[in-house]
Structure 1
Amino acid sequence: MNIFIPLIVGVLVGYLLRNRLKFNMDRPMSVTLLLLIFFMGVEAGRVEINAFDLLIYSLVFASLTILGSLVVAFLGVRE
């Protein structure tokens, strides 16, 4: 589902009812955000991955990124 359609509709409703609507939205938004985070965690927990391989790939990628940045920095200093 396209997320922009409900967003635009919400903006329009909020704009049209901005002086009439005196409802505090802090609590419903907090509950909705916590439910969203919970369901994202449930979905992430369903994914089957090999954590050790992922750790090795992440460490290699991070090391190569740092090494590449250092090489570019040293080349920039020498010029």
Structure 2
Amino acid sequence: MSAFAGIATRPGDEQSRRDRTPAVLAAWGLVVSTLLLGAARELAALARGFAAQVRPLGATEEEVVAAVRAAMRA
């Protein structure tokens, strides 16, 4: 049982469970936002690496942006 499940299913009356709801939601929000931040950083690093490969070939900034967007769709 995860820590979140333990908090959510802890014995208590209805009011005490309702009082714990914001804490559980905040904890899940931190977990999810951390994972999303990590994914966004990885995508940004991938895009920078791809742009660095294309840029020396004389591509304009618009061409680099278009190439990165096309690669992300593929």
Pairwise TM-score range, normalised by the shorter structure: 0.3 to 0.5
Higher CA-based Rg: 1
TM-score (norm 2): 0.39
